Each structure stands twice: as structure tokens, then as C-alpha cells.
Amino acid sequence: MCTQTQQQLDFIKMVANRLAEKFFQSLFELTQGKDYPTTIGRLAEILDWAKEFYEQYYHKVSTLENFRRSKDEIYNPEALNDLITVFGQERLKIFFEKNAHSPNYFLEKYSAVTKKDYHEEFYSTN
């Protein structure tokens, strides 16, 4: 198990912030709960998306120019923000398809977050 560098953690935080700005409100559609556990569950979902983005794109987008020249240019982004937005839109669509009938999803996510192993898993790489 390899620990992530501060630069990698900062990248995940930046992606999570951008995803939260664009998609946190959309997650209210699954459940209108505004309590602490539900809100933490929503934030944990966004953080999972950010980690997924990191795993898929960090080494490809460490500089956007390298990404634009790569053969993996599947989104043809004009900027990293565009790539994050497209990723978030696809992830949100998948999320709603999978969880449309799970009104307690965020409470279950909150329960998972409060477990020690979730925190440890986030801060390590596979």
C-alpha cells in the first residue's frame, strides 16, 4: 500500500471542490434530507468521485498539454475544468441510474464513512 503525496491529495481536493460546486445540489434529487448524516453522505459520494477521477486521470492530466497530446483524449476538453465537468455529468447519470430507488443511500454512505477503514482507504492508493 503506497501513501499519496501532498500534491496528489491536493489534486483530489481540487477535483472534489469542483465536483461539489457543480453536482452537490443535484444529489438532493435522490433525497431531500438536510440532516448532518445525509449531507456527509453526499459529500462522501463526491469525494469518491474525485478519487475515481484521480485514479483515471491524474497521471494523464498532470499537465493539460500532455493530456491533449495523449491518445487517451476521450473527452477533448478545452481545460481541466471541462474534463472534470464532463466526468461529473457522466458519474451523476450513472449514480442516478444505480440509486434511483435507494432513498437511504446517503445514510448508508454516512455509516460507511464513519467506519475507520473508509478513512484509511481514501488516503492510500491501490
Q: Which long-range contacts (CB under 8 A, 24 or more apart) does 80-89 make?
A: 81/18, 83/57, 84/15, 84/18, 84/19, 84/22, 84/53, 85/18, 85/22, 87/49, 87/53, 87/56, 87/57, 88/18, 88/19, 88/22, 88/23, 88/49
pLDDT in tens, 73-101: 554 456 788 889 999 999 999 999 999 88
pLDDT at residue 14 is higher than 80: yes
* Average confidence (pLDDT) over 53-62: 86
Which of 66, 68, 17 lies closest to 46 in space, CA to CA?
17
Tell me if 107 sits within 8 A of 42, measured CB to CB.
no
What does the mean pLDDT of the chain come to?
Answer: 82
pLDDT the model gives residue 121: 56
Give me the domain span that covers residue 81: 2-125
pLDDT the model gives residue 101: 85
Q: Hey, what's the cell of 55? A: 485514479
Give me the number of domains the chain comprises: 1
Q: Output the pTM of the full model.
A: 0.76
